[in-house]
Structure 1
Amino acid sequence: MPKLIITENPEKWKINAEGATIISPSDYFGNSAYLESKNYMIVNLCRSHQYQSLGYYVSLLAEARSHKVIPEISVLQDFRFPSFIKDDAEEFDTLIQDTLKGESSSKVTINIYFGQVDNVSYSKLGILLFNLFQVPIIQAIFSKKDKWQLQSLKPLHLKNLDETGFKKLQEALHFYVTGKKVVRKKYSRKKYDLAILVNPDDPNPPSSPQALQKFIAAADKLGFNTEMITKNDFAKLVQFDALFIRETTNVNHHTYRFAKKAEAEGLVVFDDPGSILRCTNKVYLHELLVANKIAVPKSHIIRKDHQIIPDSFKYPMVIKQPDGSFSKGVKKVADDAELHATLKDMFQKSELLIVQEFMPTTYDWRVGVINKQPLYVCRYFMAQNHWQIINWKKDNQHRDGKSETVAVEDAPYALIDLALKATALIGDGLYGVDIKEVNGKFYVIEINDNPSIDAGVEDRVLKNGLYTKIMETFVERLEK
């Protein structure tokens, strides 16, 4: 994606930002090339962002042209209401107190340049403020009476910076434009920029490091510059054309905020926020599948204030939390004592739970679907001496059952048909449908919006073609 840095005096800039062009507001307003293409990322470094100033109109016209711009007009509007910003600061009060607890003075000023700060001890606070208020240069002033409070937060501009601050800005801008964590050995201009969102600390990520490298290699061949990002890179989303989320998703989680932001900025995103919303709640999925006559195991929703299970359910039975993942939040109960203990525990986290008949099988089917087409088919066998494919132990340790991957054309037609009908109710993204087979009949257990794709498992049949197919889908949507 071409990147433009806009300031009133481009000749003052001596920055080597690969892939970026420095122009004036008049160039941006008057050059028809910038009007005809939507494929630009704009860094607005004008002297003022006040209402109807040049800087204001750069951001305003950038949004009208569907360019990705920092700062956005909505962010500039936020700075017109300081009380709102102070209210937002209350949500991260603990971080403020922890960051500034060693300060001897009663006032601290922090200048934040694209998320970077001079004092490394302020780094977390600087990244958080930049992610919340995406302005190139922000000055945060904190004062202390009984405790530390955000006194003011305001944008700074080039005219406000001394020589040291200007040097820090150039350094931060260079990293912001080119990306510190670009995976390629040598940055080269390619047609598209792809971000892959990961959690390096997740012991059970949806894709192994080997699989991530295969995604990167496939993306590279199809014309992507690829960068691995983490939850601290929220403000960098405007730099990209596409986002691929490869960490476990949930609605009450940063992955959902990333998906929402990416969609709002016009990025192609897997998983899209609608799919996350629908797939990560088993109560919603149950109602959706039943309403559309998709075969599922016999199930019933129970309420915290009405814990009645129909007599037709016999032990053992399965109790499910609405938002569990990787077989967590799913318990099998064998008698009344286990049932009551499980309900007491699970109802502490949710007002609704699902009770489901127990269907013992030696394996579960998983059908991978992308763009409403089957992608891969696996059998996941139950973990040894366990009733699930993953046997969770203490301290987040687990044991998996073995797996087998079969060609889509060799899988039962009814299996594929059921998976496609079920995912069509969710969208046209990337999904993994868990299905049980009992006496030749198939039943949907759940639909995963963030299916596991690991090297040597799901790719056993298609090999590198699996990763290529997913990246081709990104390209197809970008070219539309």
Structure 2
Amino acid sequence: MTWVILTGRQSDLDQTATPHKIITNRDYLAHPALFRGQRPKIINLSNRYAYQSRGYYASLLAGSRGHKVIPTVETMIDLSERKLYENALPELELALNKCRKDLGGSFPAKVTIFFGIGPSKAWDRFSRLLFDWFRAPALEVAIKDGEWASIHRIGFAALGRLDDADKKRFVAALETYTSREWRDTKARTPSRYTFATLIDPNEQLPPSEISSLRYWARIAEKMGVEVEPITKKDLAKLANYDALLIRETTSISNHTYRFARRAQQEGMPVIDDPLSMIRCTNKVYLNELMTYNNVPVPPTVMIAGVSDLQLAADTLGFPLVLKIPDSSFSRGVKKASNFDELKALATAWLEDSDLLIAQKFMPTQYDWRVGVLGGQPLFAIHYLMAKKHWQIVNHDRAGKPDEGGIKTFTLKHAPAHVIDTAVRAARCIGDGLYGVDLKETKEGVFVIEVNDNPNLDHGVEDSGEKDEVWVRLTQWFLDRLERNGK
């Protein structure tokens, strides 16, 4: 990734303070051919961002040149008047007041935040949120202290007016902001694009292991793409990238959905997109969608209360499978062997969910998992059931969840009717990356669910199609970037 720093004057930032290229905004404006054929990330440190100032035009023209820039002209306009950013104040003031105890009970008259980093760790919560709202290199917040501290003003902090201590802190924050992981020490071919990959290093069952993402990064590099990991703390940095791949378990109630929405708002291709997350994370919706589109699913009964339990028992028989609509990795999916078990389980789960799903129990030695990308099959694999268990993951055993093994296939050797059913199911959801789980029985093939965040690991899901899986994943993003003229 190439970083370029724009300053109002050459003296505003020492050339030795950072390894990145520093030029004045005047030079950037006067030489539109600079960085032609490259896609630099621009940090605009102009001393003025007023409408039609040089700082304003630098960010405006960065957009026309295909360069990513902070702050954007939208941020400049947002911070030009209090009435334009006052909708952010309630959330910011709440975060600010939560810092009070760590700050010793009182607030200074003003605080300067650099790239979402405050003067001390006590400011972390507020600083990250401020940078999330207003992505700017340096922001100054005027605070009116009291029983409830309020924000009097938010504005840009001019680099040229920082004292030595703040300038030193700024340089450190700049280095933190522009540093990145997975960086090779060898010389690299300049990348056309940089993709962010959202990960949780501490997740017990991540959809992709870090080693697999590094493997993808090596393949993507050959295609002119740099892959960088980000975590949930990096939402404010998302706009610096060209695309987003989410590789931690998704939920519409946590930060993964917020990242997907932000990427979509920035016009970035994203896997998983917000609509796919909404559709796939709810099994009630999936069942209705598949049924409407004539995609075969197991016999199903919706349970809205205990009065529906007898209907489920009469329709499906025992054992049957009871599911919480929003669940993943076999969690929230239980087998009921008789009515008493069904009633006990449903009564407990209905306290947290207004709807449950009961489905016919279809015992098999494996589940098909067919990966579908952009409406076309990507891989096919058997997930074998966990030892002495009816699911592919057994969460009931003490310690680490127990997973079954795998059996791999090439797409041409997988049954055509299984692949066709999976593709039909995925196309009902969208155009992204999906993992379709299917049961193959004597009665036919049935779609159990469509996952928006399917496992994708080197040596597992790519065993059949090899590197073609990772090449196609990269190309999916490239096609959409080039289609959008990025």
TM-score by length of 2: 0.87
Q: Which amino acid aligns with 1:448?
A: N
- Matches of 2:227 and 2:172, distance apart in 1: 21
Residues 94-148 of structure 1, C-alpha deviation per residue, up to 9 Å, x if partnerless? xx53x44143452245422112233234334423332233221123456664466
- Matches of 2:281 and 2:65, distance apart in 1: 34
Tell me which of 327, 343, 346 is aligned to 1:343.
Answer: 346
Aligned to 1:479: 482
Q: Secondary structure at the match of 1:276?
A: helix
- Matches of 2:429 and 2:272, distance apart in 1: 11
- Aligned in 2, Cα 1:398/1:173: closer, same or farther, shift over 3 Å? same
Matched, 1:283 2:284: yes
Identity %: 38
Q: Secondary structure at the match of 1:397?
A: coil
- Matches of 2:209 and 2:123, distance apart in 1: 32
Q: Which amino acid aligns with 2:366?
A: Y
Matched, 1:88 2:91: yes
1:106, 1:143 within 8 Å by CA — same for their partners in 2?
A: no
Residues 397-429 of structure 1, C-alpha deviation per residue, up to 9 Å, x if partnerless? 311111111111111110011111111122222
Residues 11-90 of structure 1 aligned to structure 2 (within 5 Å):
12-15=12-15, 17=18, 20=21, 22-24=23-25, 26-33=26-33, 39=39, 41-62=41-62, 67-79=67-79, 80-81=82-83, 83-89=86-92
Moved more, 192-201 or 80-89: 80-89
TM-score by length of 1: 0.88
- Aligned in 2, Cα 1:197/1:289: closer, same or farther, shift over 3 Å? same
Number of residue pairs matched by the alignment: 475
Aligned to 2:444: 441
Q: Which amino acid aligns with 1:44?
A: N
- Aligned in 2, Cα 1:330/1:472: closer, same or farther, shift over 3 Å? same
- Matches of 2:208 and 2:273, distance apart in 1: 18
Residues 3-402 of structure 1 aligned to structure 2 (within 5 Å):
3-10=3-10, 12-15=12-15, 17=18, 20=21, 22-24=23-25, 26-33=26-33, 39=39, 41-62=41-62, 67-79=67-79, 80-81=82-83, 83-89=86-92, 92=95, 96-97=97-98, 99-104=99-104, 106-108=106-108, 109-140=110-141, 145-146=146-147, 153-177=154-178, 179-186=179-186, 188=188, 189-304=190-305, 307=308, 309-310=311-312, 311-393=314-396, 397-402=400-405
Q: Secondary structure at the match of 2:316?
A: coil
- Matches of 1:154 and 1:306, distance apart in 2: 58
- Matches of 2:252 and 2:422, distance apart in 1: 23
Aligned to 2:423: 420
- Matches of 2:183 and 2:286, distance apart in 1: 37
Aligned to 2:456: 453
Q: Secondary structure at the match of 1:225?
A: strand
- Aligned in 2, Cα 1:337/1:43: closer, same or farther, shift over 3 Å? same
Deviation at 1:395, TM superposition (A): 7.3
- Matches of 2:238 and 2:263, distance apart in 1: 7
- Aligned in 2, Cα 1:104/1:372: closer, same or farther, shift over 3 Å? closer
Structure 1, unaligned stretches of length 5 or more? none
- Aligned in 2, Cα 1:320/1:20: closer, same or farther, shift over 3 Å? farther
Q: Which amino acid aligns with 1:460?
A: S
Give the CA RMSD over aligned residues. 3.0
- Matches of 1:468 and 1:37, distance apart in 2: 23
- Aligned in 2, Cα 1:394/1:73: closer, same or farther, shift over 3 Å? farther
1:50, 1:56 within 8 Å by CA — same for their partners in 2?
A: yes
Structure 2, unaligned stretches of length 5 or more? none
Matched, 1:468 2:471: yes
Q: Secondary structure at the match of 2:171?
A: helix
Q: Which amino acid aligns with 1:414?
A: H
1:138, 1:153 within 8 Å by CA — same for their partners in 2?
A: yes
